[in-house]
Amino acid sequence: MIGMDEKLSFFKDGLRLDGRLPDELRPIKVEVGVLARADGSCYMEMGDNKVIAAVYGPREVHPRHLQEVTRAIVRYRYNMASFSVEERKRPGPDRRSYEVSKVSREALEPVILTSYFPRSVVDIFVEVLQADAGTRTAGINAASVALADAGIPMKSLISSCAAGKVGGEIVLDPMKLEDNFGEADVPIAMTPAGEITLLQMDGRLSKEELKRALELAKAGCQQIYEIQRKVLVDRYSHMNEMESCDEAVAEEEI
């Protein structure tokens, strides 16, 4: 990492170091159903972040004592590959990944209808293949699409992105340089209706700045939602009509 010169600016002619406008997301690429063995899966790129999400379940809970009699439990494991960052990341869970797993689970759990599947578990695994600031938001976005792909009943999808403050200005979706040398980072997750399920803040912001950051992040989430929705719909776009097989019952003799 090259040391940041004090005089070096985050902006040049009103554009950011990677050529984006302050309220512009990084390019997003999504693919659904990439893993054959998972019940639902999604690969997502948000700028230079590359994550893959796999959903299993509802399935039997192991170990048994974790099971809840009236509802399904949700488990979320966020893991960074050792090659995902510049310096090799020591493999295995650490304080940071425990935290990210917990907040991500709590970002998704409110929309999952856990009461439909008592005594079962929905397992979500998110693997970060390449990190460039904003992996938790990318993970939540991918996990949300993978949950839909697995056929899990949900009230809505969840979209997530961050806003930050760099060089005194509020920007959407900070990339690594901006995150490392910026003043604040505010990741959020929300439903398309605007209900926030994740809100974190790292750094210092004034009340007005936080308001502006939320505004930006919410607008970013709406854009991401449209992408998530489109990728799911397009997967079956060649279908216009499924012949209705209502009330088909198996009636056979042996």
Partner 1 sequence: MDRMDRNVVVPGDLLSDDPKRAGEGTYVKDGSVRSLLYGMASSYKDKVRVIPLAGKYVPTPGDTVIGTVQDIVFSNWIININSPYEGLLHISELPRKIEMNEMSKYLRIGGSVMIRVKDVDSTMKVELTMNDRRLGTLTRGRVAEINPTRVPRLIGKGGSMINMLKKELNCNIFVGQNGRIWVDGNDDDMDLALKTVLIIEKEAHTTGLTDRILEFLRVEKEARS
Q: Does 65 bind partner 1 (CB under 8 A)?
A: no
Per-residue mark of binding to partner 1, 128-167 (x: CB under 8 A):
--------------------xxxxxxxxxx----------
CA atoms within 13 A of residue 225's CA, in its CB half-sphere: 16
Q: Is 236 in the site for partner 1 (CB under 8 A)?
A: yes
Interacting residue with partner 1 among 18, 29, 59, 93 (CB under 8 A): 59
Binding partner 1 (rule: CB under 8 A), the pick from 1, 2, 36, 239 is: 239
Query: Is 36 near partner 1 (CB under 8 A)?
Result: no
Residue with Cβ nearer partner 1 (97 or 114): 114
CA distance 45 to 118: 34
Please give the structure tokens belonging to residue 190. Answer: 């929300």
Binding test (CB under 8 A) with partner 1, winner from 120, 130, 200, 223:
120
Biggest alpha carbon–alpha carbon distance for the chain: 83
C-beta closer to partner 1: residue 138 or 152: 152
Q: Is 252 in the site for partner 1 (CB under 8 A)?
A: yes
- Contact flags string 75-104 toward partner 1, x per CB under 8 A: ------------------------------
Which CA distances in Å does 95 have to 39, 78, 92, 100, 107? Answer: 29, 11, 10, 9, 18
- Binds partner 1 (CB under 8 A): choice among 20, 40, 97, 177: 40
> What DSSP element (H or E) covers 76?
strand 73-80
Binding-residue total with partner 1 (CB under 8 A): 51
66 binds partner 1 (CB under 8 A): no
What is the phi-psi region of residue 244: left when phi exceeds 0, alpha when psi lies from -120 to 50, beta otherwise?
A: beta
**Which of 15, 29, 60, 66 touches partner 1 by CB under 8 A?**
60
Among 172, 191, 198, 220, binds partner 1 (CB under 8 A): 191
Considering the complex, what minimum distance in angstroms separates the CB of residue 136 from partner 1? 21
Q: How far apart are CA 146 and CA 148, in angstroms?
A: 5
- Applying CB under 8 A, which residues contact partner 1? 39-40, 57-60, 69-70, 111, 113, 116-120, 148-157, 191-193, 228-229, 232-233, 235-246, 248-254
